[in-house]
């Protein structure tokens, strides 16, 4: 793959149709500081605009996906600083805007903002060493990048309250059992599994994958009847695409579909 040299806190490689973004602040367990979040926004925008890229994989190191927002950088902030900059609101916009699928490959600590960053991806594949937590209460704050909202939707109120109130960590096994992650694999297999999933997605019609993302995300935004209507209309609309014709013809002719994103 080709390696992009433009970042100091990330390692970005484009391999086949996959943009692999690796958080890279090893001395701070990939704590999310302003520079890292700005570079991540840039890297995601670049992936979104790069026609070659069909799927993004976001990962950290073996020891830490990310140990949270950078506490050193935050500690002296006042309310006025945080409010005026809309701390973490602005910095995370790009992630929500990305229409290409993003897989989080999590090994080690995914705490606070790290857990929240993983939850902003489309799904999470975890190594058996992964530890998830929302320990902000230990710092005298609550989560600030969606933890109280997203974790609750993933794992339900009881477990979410437990995590946020006690600040305890969840193992990969518990995270899979409770619906936070889609798969758990041995640490050594994590990148193979995540890149394999990304390669699978890259084979599909990018247009259809975008539609899947829109439809699933709707489930978190609107009442069920509205979500069902949105899905059905999207389903109807896809009959206007060449990829629908190709996908169904290929099935009937017992061959592999050749999607053209049209
Ligand atoms: N911010 C800044 N630096 C951090 C950090 C963070 N969130 N997490 C770890 N580091 C730094 C440590 O300060 C340490 O740096 P030094 O070597 O310069 O002292 C280095 O990373 C290694 O960390 P430890 O020595 O602590 O490593 P450990 O293996 O003993 O412990 C850990 C690992 C349990 C993850 C521990 O580092 C830890 O508890 N980190 C903080 C976790 C946390 O509270 N996260 C929530 C942050 S707040 C937040 O995220 C708000 C939000 O929702 C937006």
Please identify, by atom number, the ligand 1 atom nearest to the C-alpha of residue 138. Answer: 44
- Catalytic residue positions, numbered: 69, 113, 116, 136
Closest CA to 113 of 70, 77, 154, 57: 70
Neighbours of 16 (CB within 10 A): 13
Instruction: Please report the pLDDT score of residue 131 as a whole number.
Output: 98
d(CA 66, ligand 1 centre) in Å:
9
d(CA 48, ligand 1 centre) in Å:
31
d(CA 198, ligand 1 centre) in Å:
30
CA–CA gap between residue 48 and residue 43 (Å, rounded) = 9
| Region of residue 86 (phi > 0: left; psi between -120 and 50: alpha; otherwise: beta) | left
**Contact, 68 vs 112, CB < 8 A?**
yes
Please identify, by atom number, the ligand 1 atom nearest to the C-alpha of residue 68. Answer: 50
ipTM over the 0.95 cut-off: yes
Instruction: Please report the pLDDT score of residue 122 as a whole number.
Output: 98
**Contact, 168 vs 133, CB < 8 A?**
yes
d(CA 31, ligand 1 centre) in Å:
7
Question: Hey, which of 34, 63, 67, 76 would you mutate to test ligand 1's pocket, going by the most ligand atoms within 8 Å of its Cβ?
Answer: 67
CA–CA gap between residue 218 and residue 231 (Å, rounded) = 9
Q: What is the pLDDT along the chain (262 residues), one digit of tens a residue?
A: 677 778 999 999 999 999 999 999 999 999 999 999 999 999 999 999 999 999 999 999 999 999 999 999 999 999 999 999 999 998 888 899 999 999 999 999 999 999 999 999 999 999 999 999 999 999 999 999 999 999 999 999 999 999 999 999 999 999 999 999 999 999 999 999 999 999 999 999 999 999 999 999 999 999 999 999 999 999 999 999 999 999 999 999 999 999 999 9
d(CA 43, ligand 1 centre) in Å:
24
CA–CA gap between residue 262 and residue 248 (Å, rounded) = 14
pTM above 0.95, yes or no: yes
Question: Hey, which of 23, 26, 27, 29 would you mutate to test ligand 1's pocket, going by the most ligand atoms within 8 Å of its Cβ?
Answer: 29
Q: Which residues lie with the beta carbon below 6 Å from any ligand 1 atom?
A: 28-29, 31, 67-72, 88, 109, 111-113, 116, 135-136, 139, 143-145, 147
Instruction: Please report the pLDDT score of residue 3 as a whole number.
Output: 75
Instruction: Please report the pLDDT score of residue 39 as a whole number.
Output: 97
Number of residues assigned to the chain? 262
Please identify, by atom number, the ligand 1 atom nearest to the C-alpha of residue 147. Answer: 53
Please identify, by atom number, the ligand 1 atom nearest to the C-alpha of residue 29. Answer: 21
């Amino acid at each position: 793959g080709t390696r992009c040299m433009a970042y100091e806190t990330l390692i970005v490689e484009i391999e086949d149709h996959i943009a692999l973004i690796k958080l890279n602040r090893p001395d701070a367990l990939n704590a999310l500081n302003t520079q890292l979040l700005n570079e991540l926004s840039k890297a995601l925008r670049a992936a979104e605009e790069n026609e070659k890229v069909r799927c993004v994989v976001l990962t950290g190191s073996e020891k830490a996906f990310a140990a949270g927002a950078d506490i050193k950088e935050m500690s002296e902030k006042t309310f006025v600083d945080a409010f005026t900059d809309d701390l973490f609101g602005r910095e995370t916009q790009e992630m929500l805007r990305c229409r290409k699928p993003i897989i989080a490959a999590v090994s080690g600590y995914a705490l606070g903002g790290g857990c929240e960053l993983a939850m902003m991806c489309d799904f999470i594949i975890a190594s058996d060493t992964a530890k998830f937590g929302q320990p902000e209460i230990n710092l005298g704050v609550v989560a600030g990048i969606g933890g109280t909202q997203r974790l609750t939707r993933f794992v339900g109120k009881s477990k979410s309250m437990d995590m946020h109130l006690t600040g305890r960590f969840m193992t990969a096994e518990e995270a899979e059992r409770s619906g936070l992650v889609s798969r758990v694999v041995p640490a050594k297999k994590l990148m193979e599994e995540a890149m394999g999933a990304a390669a699978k997605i890259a084979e599909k019609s990018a247009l259809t994958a975008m539609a899947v993302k829109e439809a699933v995300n709707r489930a978190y935004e609107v009442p069920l009847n509205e979500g069902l209507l949105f899905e059905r209309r999207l389903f109807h609309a896809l009959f206007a695409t060449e990829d629908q014709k190709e996908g169904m013809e290929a099935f009937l002719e017992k061959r592999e579909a050749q999607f053209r994103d049209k």
